[in-house]
Structures are given as C-alpha cells and as structure tokens.
Amino acid sequence: MPMIIEINHVTKTVKGNDLLKDIDLRITKPGVYGVIGRNGSGKSVLFKTIAGLLRPTTGEVKVFGEKVGNGRFPKHFGALFDLPGFVPRYTAFNNLKLLASIRGIISTEDIRQVISKVGLDPDDRRPVKKYSYGMRQRLGIAQAIMENPSLLILDEPMNGLDETGVEEIRGMILEFKKQGMTVLIASHNSEDIKLLCDQVYRMDQGKLTLHQTETVS
C-alpha cells in the first residue's frame, strides 16, 4: 500500500528566501496531523506544496504514491486555503454547484448534503456576499470535502469562527477521522491541535520538526 504523504528533502526557495528547508515527512496511516508555527513560518507554503500548487526547488513530494507539483495535483484530495473565494452574488448552493461542475462527479443532492453537514442551509437564498466570515469559512470546508476526499488539507480552518463554530468544526474533523480520512491541519490554536491531532509538527523558519505524538490507531 503506498504512503499517504511522502516528502523527501524538499526545499522551496523564492526570490532568495528559503521558505522550506530540507523537509522530510512520511504519513503512512490515516489520522489527523497538525502543523503549528508562527505566521510566515512556512506552514501554508508546505501545504500548498503538498497540494501540488507549488513545485519544490529541490526534493520531491508524493501523495498516494504519485509525484505532485509542476502541474500535477494529488488525486482524492480537498483543501481549504486562507479565506476561500466564492462568487459573491451566488448562493452557497450555486457556488458549490459551479465548482462541482468542473469535475462533474457529484450530484446536486450530494451538494445539498455537504452544505447541511457544515451547518449551513442549502436552501438559503442569500448571496454569499451577505455571509459572515465564519459562514464563508464553513462553506470553504464544505467545498473541500464535497467530493469525499481521502486527504483533506485545512490551513487555519478555525479562523474567524465563533466558539460554537470552532466546536462544530472540531466535531467535523473528528468525524472525518472516524471515516478514515487523513486530515492535515495548520492552526495557531494549541487547543485545536491538542484535541484533534494524532501527531503534531512544528514549523519554524521553514524547518519541520516532530513536536508531539499520540497513538495513531
């Protein structure tokens, strides 16, 4: 069985700045994996490299055994980066329908279900521009999970959420774990990491080190 994520000696240099320094990482079992670190430490760059959006300067990234980057994206994965962009004049349902239409592998019923799953109303007629920050963040998570990925990358998913929202998203992530999904999560909040993650890595000035390990069952 191929490894879920395999990163071999990856560096990423942009305009002379080393954003990633000799990163090695192997994830073999499904679970929740956290990355902590200050702003600008390289967490987002690492996640975007795993997602195939950025090409490593040296080294290689494999997801489910296949090399990614340089125009190749991983299969069976979903991602949430920053505050996701949606069409402001569209409803939540129409936004997801538009994105889903690019691959055309899920039904409108699946879209309705995933919107309900993140605590939003699929029949809400309000355009997304009237949504709060937290509601857009939930919609971003819905977009990331709508095609039922095996690997989910969440970059600061709790940003802008109120206490109830944070609790709900935590519950969702634990549910994804139960379903056998692999979740990579970056968070500032040490409580999120403590409650959710099986293994925690620290990112500091482009270097990744193992911070804490729980038992990944």
Binding site for other proteins (CB under 8 A): 14, 44-45, 48, 51, 53-55, 71, 73, 77-79, 81, 83-87, 98-104, 143
Q: What are phi and psi of 59, to 5 degrees?
A: 85, -175
With tokens 């600061």, the residue in question is: 156
Amino acid at 146: M
Least distance CB 217 / other proteins (angstroms):
29
Q: Closer CB to other proteins, residue 34 or residue 52?
A: 52
Pairing state of beta strands 199-204 and 207-213? antiparallel
Q: Closer CB to other proteins, residue 128 or residue 208?
A: 128
Least distance CB 17 / other proteins (angstroms):
11
Q: Closer CB to other proteins, residue 147 or residue 189?
A: 147
Residue 72: left (phi > 0), alpha (psi -120 to 50), or beta? beta
Q: Closer CB to other proteins, residue 5 or residue 197?
A: 5
Least distance CB 98 / other proteins (angstroms):
6
Least distance CB 108 / other proteins (angstroms):
15
What Å distances lie between residue 99 and 12, 26, 93, 110, 144, CA to CA? Answer: 30, 31, 10, 13, 10
